[in-house]
Amino acid sequence: MDNLRTEAGEDADRRVAIETLYERLADSLELHWPEPHIGAAGTLGATRHGGWRVPTVGYLNFIHPPQVQIVGQPEIAYLGRLSDALAAHLRAQLTQGATRLVVVADGQHLPDYLHTALRAADIAVFTTHASGHRVAYRLRHFLGETLARQITLHGVFLEVLSIGLLVVGDPGVGKSELALELINRGHRLVADDAPEFVLLGPDDLNGGCPPLLQDFLEVRGLGILNIRAMFGEAAIKRRKQLGLIIRLVRGDTSDTAPPDRLTGARATREILDTSIPEITLPVAVGHNLSVLVEAAARDHLLRMQGQYSDEQFAARQAQVIGADPTGVSSCD
């Protein structure tokens, strides 16, 4: 994939330290870490245990223990009803599995036998008066974003007619010049050169700009331009979901196959297991690329609504041919 820069490692490489999680969520969840030296070296991320992938966050579970166990009022009530044999089984399952953090919610307190076992296994324990549901929601949201699959692509990422549109192509083909013209026509810049995309959910590739490049666009002959200062706040979009890729190719390239006259030069690009439609546009004298890109964006919006111009034309043509088998329309 020629427009791919780097992918942020395999699943096993994306991890977050328990200390980092505490620092980021301590205020919002009113977390307390009574023994910060216990479990401080632990990390959370994609983990396998016994051949099975371990869930990241979950309520008290000693059959498939998640990495973060949430223990609230219902779970404490359940623990209080356990027999000695079942309590011993629970203690072994929690301390010998992949659990690295236990969050005690609802202002509850762990039974002494369980707290002692977690301490001996170097498993961190946070406490909070927040509800278990709130803790679970915030943890899943934070870890979902932090541990999400990420990729950096080479190109200019813009918002055009409400669509996240990535312009890609060989160096010097005119990506930045096209982006500048689109911005001048009222569209918005997300990121130049190295937009970063995060897979936040199924088919949701959400892109943004690295802090170093925020607001800037490099244009050959002009150098670095501050788009926010030149065009105002409305010319910048902080993040956007990727919906369409526009690939620019030089019109004099002999190895480029001519586009289909009916459907155009359309393809699908797989990025982080997500299918993104791609349109190839030739860069040639007399081609108004900004108008072509706007037309591509409008057509993409129609396709999202189930309206395909090529299919509509083909259906109309078939209808005419069916009504006149000779293919020649007669006029009185």
Answer whether residue 208 shows pLDDT above 70.
yes
Model confidence band, residue 324 (pLDDT cutoffs 50, 70, 90): low
Bigger pLDDT: 162 vs 61: 162
Indicate which residue of 193, 239, 247, 269 is catalytic: 193
Checking if the pLDDT of 97 tops 90, the result is no
Indicate which residue of 27, 84, 255, 261 is catalytic. Answer: 261
pLDDT score for 9 = 41
Reply yes or no on whether the pLDDT at 12 is more than 80. no
> What is the CATH architecture of 9-146?
3-Layer(aba) Sandwich (3.40)
Beta pairing, strands 48-49 & 52-53:
antiparallel
Confidence band of 2 (pLDDT split at 50, 70, 90)? very low
Q: In the prediction, which pLDDT does 256 show?
A: 61
Distance from CA of residue 182 to its chain's centroid?
A: 25
Catalytic residue among 154, 237, 239, 269: 154
Q: Output the pLDDT for position 47.
A: 73
- The residues, ordered by sequence, that sit 6+ positions from 271 with a Cβ below 8 Å of its Cβ are 4, 151, 153, 197, 205, 242
pLDDT-derived band at 182 (thresholds 50, 70, 90) equals: very high
Residue-range domain boundaries for the chain: 9-146, 150-317
316 included as an active-site residue: no
In tens, the pLDDT along 229-259 reads: 999 999 999 999 999 999 999 876 655 667 7
- The answer to whether 261 is a known catalytic residue is yes
Strand partners for 279:
246, 266
Residue 24 sits at the vertex; the CA angle it makes with 19 and 28, to the nearest 5 degrees, is 125
- Catalytic, 193? Answer yes
Q: Rounded to whole angstroms, how far apart are CA atoms 303 and 27?
A: 45
Token pair for 41: 């070296």
Examine the pLDDT at 171 and tell me if it is beyond 80.
Answer: yes
Band the pLDDT of 8: cuts 50, 70, 90.
very low
Q: 265 versus 17: which is more confidently predicted? A: 17
pLDDT average, residue stretch 7-21: 70
307 DSSP 8-state letter: -
- Measure CA of the first residue to CA of the last residue in the chain; give whole Å: 57
Active-site residue, selected from the candidate residues 175, 188, 237, 247:
175
Active site annotation includes 252:
no
Contacts of 208 (CB under 8 A, 6+ apart): 190, 191, 195, 196, 198, 238, 239, 240
Contact 219, 175 (CB under 8 A): no
Within the chain, strands assigned E span 4-7, 15-17, 43-45, 48-49, 52-53, 57-59, 68-71, 101-104, 124-127, 150-153, 155-160, 163-169, 188-193, 196-201, 204-208, 216-219, 223-226, 239-250, 266-271, 274-283
Share of the chain above pLDDT 70, in %: 90
pTM over 0.85: no
Name which residue leads in pLDDT, 4 or 51.
51
Report, as an integer, the average pLDDT of 86-102.
89
pLDDT of residue 107: 94
Strand partners, 282: 249
Axis crossing angle, helix 175-184 with helix 289-304, rounded to the nearest 10: 70
**Per residue, what are the HEC states of 90-141?**
HHHHHHHCCCCEEEECCCCCCCHHHHHHHHHCCCEEEECCCCHHHHHHHHHH
Mean pLDDT of 162-184: 94
What CATH number belongs to 150-317?
A: 3.40.50.300
Check if the beta carbon of residue 128 is closer than 8 Å to that of residue 104.
yes
* 68-73 mean pLDDT: 94
pLDDT of residue 53: 77
Average pLDDT, the chain: 87
Cβ contact 42:124 at 8 Å: yes
